[in-house]
Amino acid sequence: MFELIKDQIKNIKKVVFVTGAGISQESGIPTFRGKDGLWKNHDSMKLATIDAFYDNPKLVWEWYNERRKNIFAAQPNLGHKAIAELEKYVKVVVLTQNIDGLHQKAGSSEVLELHGSIIKIKCSVCNFNEEITSEISEILPLCKCGNILRPDVVWFGESLPQDVWQKAMIYASQCDLMVIVGTSLVVSPANTLPIYAKQNNALLIEINPDNTEISPEMTLVIRNTGTISLPEFVSLFKNK
């Protein structure tokens, strides 16, 4: 599967993973854009914009609470675990578009959540934020300042957290190898990350069962899932 880069692995010291919904789908978390995705039965503009939240915060909170139940029950799969294991051999950073925390659950120590986290909440007005470990019982949870709390995720039309994005660009521009797993990278600005890696002459690997717009730009394309491909990928580093 990885024969083309086997000889180059011995020179790799910094690996950046860019992960998307496809890797979490294998843990039972539906994707947004797949044929069985979360957007299939919902209008995304009624659920994932700040305007929708102010128009109907109860609906948005109900939907996110349902998603949170699913995510709390989910466990890291072999793909997540392989990425965490790779830290034994090289420097690893995960830049994830996922909001489920499964990379951290698997043991990855350096994870940048580009689109926020569903297990964190923040105030819609003041600077309050915190992590939650169980279900929220209130229909509309309020901050101590009296304003509505919201999921600490990046909604359509919102900017990525600038501190996180600045770090992501730096890691991408310094890596020797970038592995893009389970994402078509159609969302900006995450879709620019391979450009930063390429400017550093990094190897680019795509792991995705489907063809994507970025496939022609890759050094190596693996048409398979993360759970199958990533354990084999890590085994290359064990033997280098």
Q: Active-site positions?
A: 115
Helices 78-85 and 226-238: angle between axes, nearest 10 degrees: 20
Annotated binding site for NAD(+): 97-100, 182-184, 208-210, 226
What DSSP designation does 148 have? B
Residue type, 192: T
Annotated binding site for substrate: 64, 67
Tell which residue, 238, 168, 167, 234, has the closest CA to residue 205.
Answer: 234
Annotated binding site: 64, 67, 97-100, 123, 126, 143, 145, 182-184, 208-210, 226
Say if CB 97 and CB 183 are below 8 A apart: yes
CA distances (Å), origin 222, targets 4, 5, 74, 204, 205 = 11, 12, 25, 11, 7
From start to end of 108-216, where are the E strands?
111-113, 116-123, 129-131, 149-153, 177-181, 203-207
Say if CB 16 and CB 179 are below 8 A apart: yes
